[in-house]
Structure 1
Amino acid sequence: MKKTNLILLFIVLIGGTAYISMLAQNETPVQKPEVSAPEILPDFTLSDVNGNTSSIHDLAANKPTLFIYFNSTCHLCQDELGSISKRIKEFEDYSLIFTTVQPLEEMISFVDGLGIKDNPNVHFLLDAEMKVATFYQIRSVPSIYIYNPQKQLQSEYVGIVPIERLLSDLSE
């Protein structure tokens, strides 16, 4: 009896697998629309960690710009921003703009721990109304964008990017 049940179970599993496979072949795959960053660096005015408002274009100036949307509770963001902070001297010729939607107190605590907020080319901005997140359609952090001195998009990434790659993209 057990042998018969096992054979029946085996036949049902094989048949079910074949049926599901046949259904999958008949469906056309759904393609997700590609979402890409804006070709031109948008000019939002946001508050920084000191409560001062700043224009993203003013902060970017006419330099290559590394624009990162992050969340301090994200371990990938912690790793990426931590790696940048360890090699901050290599970024001194570029504008670094870090933006988050987090509450100000959380952002300040994280930023203080990085030890780079007093560098003149480093800017931490608060996207309190989620304007930037909505505009960029942020779905994952860290979202990393590199713009040239003319504020045109050069590269975009999601997740951790090796520092050498960021520096290479910024120098192009």
Structure 2
Amino acid sequence: MKKTNLIILLIVLLGGASYMGYLSQLGTSAEAAILTAPSELPDFTLNDINGKATSIHGVAGAKPTLFIYYNSTCHLCQEELGNISKRIEEFKDYNLILTTVQPMEEMIGFADGLGIKDKSNVHFLLDSEMKVASFYQVRSVPSIYVYDGKKQLVAEYVGITKIELLLEKLSAGK
């Protein structure tokens, strides 16, 4: 009986360790996946946080760009963008375009809470007609896309993504 219990315990431990190893790889699995987002940053014109019509290409300029489609009521989005806002100085050489379909008031409230809306490299854009969401076929948020300085797709992720990985991909896109 003790031998059987020991074998079962060993199998459970090995299975658990394997599963934990699998989970630890999820943060980088999108890296190895085939990129399905548009290979070039699309150039939609959306209203910014001040209601001004703004071109995505215009705010991206020639810098590597982190494009994030989010929803402020999504706890994963809150966590991801909260983590980015805490380390915003590390993103100073890159443009961040944060896009949502939510009403303007909600976007402004969320941006105020993050404390990064006045950063010159951070751009909150409103996709009120869901043009960008349809173009990207956004099914889950946060949807994160990294584009290089030539507006070519470098990487894409869904869900919480390690800040170090985002910074590494942005840096590679200089």
| TM-score interval, smaller chain | 0.7 to 0.9
Q: Which amino acid aligns with 2:49?
A: V
Post-superposition offset of 1:35? 7.9
The alpha-carbon deviation at position 91 of structure 1 amounts to 0.2
In the alignment, the residues of structure 2 paired with residue 49 and residue 88 of structure 1 have an alpha-carbon distance, to the nearest angstrom, of 18
What is aligned with 2:167?
167
For 2:49 and 2:153, the matched residues in 1 are separated by 26
What is the root-mean-square deviation in Å for CA atoms of aligned residues?
1.0
Matched residue, 2:100: 100
TM-score, normalised via structure 2 length: 0.79
Query: Which letter does structure 1 place at the counterpart of 2:79?
Result: D
Q: Percent identity?
A: 71
Gaps of 5+ in 2: 1-33
Over 4 Å off, 4+ runs = none
Residues 123-162 of structure 1 mapped to structure 2, 5 A cutoff: 123-162=123-162
Is the Cα contact below 8 Å between 2:39 and 2:152 reproduced in 1? yes
Equivalent residues, number: 139
SS in 1 for 2:46: strand
**Is the counterpart of residue 73 in structure 1 residue 73 in structure 2?**
yes
Superposed CA deviations along residues 86-133 of structure 1, whole A, max 9, x for unmatched, are 000000000000000001111111110000000000000000000000
Which whole-Å CA distance do the structure 1 matches of 2:86 and 2:53 have between them? 27
Please give the TM-score of this superposition, normalised by the length of structure 1.
0.80
Larger Rg: 1
CA deviations 1:46-90 (Å, max 9, x no partner) are: 001110111000100000000000000000000000000000000
